[in-house]
Copies of this chain bind each other. A is one copy, B any other.
Amino acid sequence: MDKSLKKIESQVKDKELVELRRMEIVKAAVDLFVQKGFHKTTVREIAQKFGMSVGTLYEYIRTKEDILYLVCDYIHSSFGMRVRPALHITPDSVKTLKGAIDTYYRMIDEMQDYLVFLYQETKSLSHDDRKYIFKAEEDMTDIFEEIINRGIEDGSFKLDRNQVGLFAHNIMVLGQMWAFRRWALQKSYTLDGYIKAQSARLIKELTS
C-alpha cells in the first residue's frame, strides 16, 4: 500500500528522476494547498516554489489535478507510515488500545492541517481517486476493530459484537475532532489533557 494505485504518465524517461522531482513538486504544493486551498493555488506558484519553470513541471504531470492526487496520496501515506510501526500489539489489550489511541491522536495533532485539507478537498478528486483515499480511513478503522476484537476475546472488553465497527469509528472521530474543532477545543484543552480525558472515557466504556 505504499505505492499509489494510479500511475500518472510523464514525459520524462528516467524513473528515478520522475520520483525525485515529483517529491519536490509535492513538497512545494502541499504547503500552498493547505494555506490557500487547491483552487486558489496556481500552477505558476507551485512551479516557482518548486524552483523550476512551468514547462518543466508539466514534464512530470499531465494536469493540475494530478498534483492534487499526488498531494493527497502523500499525506495519506505519511499517515500510514507513522501509525503502523507505532502500533504494538501486546498481550494486555487495554494497554494496546490505550497506546493505539495515543499514537493516533498525537499524529492527528501533528498533521491537523493536512487532515483538514484532505477532508475539504477530496471532493475535487475524481470518484476513483476519492475511493482510494477513503480506503486509508477504512484501513485505520480495521486496526482499531482488530484491537477491540482481541480485547473482547481475551475478556478485557465488554462490547456487543455488532457494535465493534461503530466503536472503532467513534474512537477515530473523537480524535479527528481535535483537528476539526480546534477553534473551540484547543482554547480549553492541551493535547495531553484531551487525550487523557477521551482515552479514559473510551476505555472505561469498554471495560465497565
Contacts and interface: CB of A to CB of B under 8 A. Distances in A.
Is the contact region of chain A dominated by helix, strand, or loop, or is it mixed? helix
Contacts of A201: 205
A177 B181 CA distance: 13
A189 B170 CA distance: 14
Q: Give this chain's copy count.
A: 2
A161 interface: no
Contacts of A141: 184
Interface in A179-199: 180-181, 183-185, 188-189, 194, 197-198
A128 B141 CA distance: 36
Interface stretch (A4-12, A82-90, A94-102, A117-125): A117-125
Contacts of A204: 205
Contact of A169 (B165, B166, B185): B185
B173 A138 contact: no
A194 B173 CA distance: 15
Closest 5 CB pairs of A and B: A39-B39, A173-B177, A120-B120, A134-B183, A173-B173
7 contacts: A37-B123, A120-B123, A138-B184, A163-B197, A169-B184, A169-B185, A173-B174
Interface of A: 37, 39, 119-120, 123-124, 134, 137-138, 141, 163, 165-166, 169-170, 173-174, 177, 180-181, 183-185, 188-189, 194, 197-198, 201, 204-205, 208
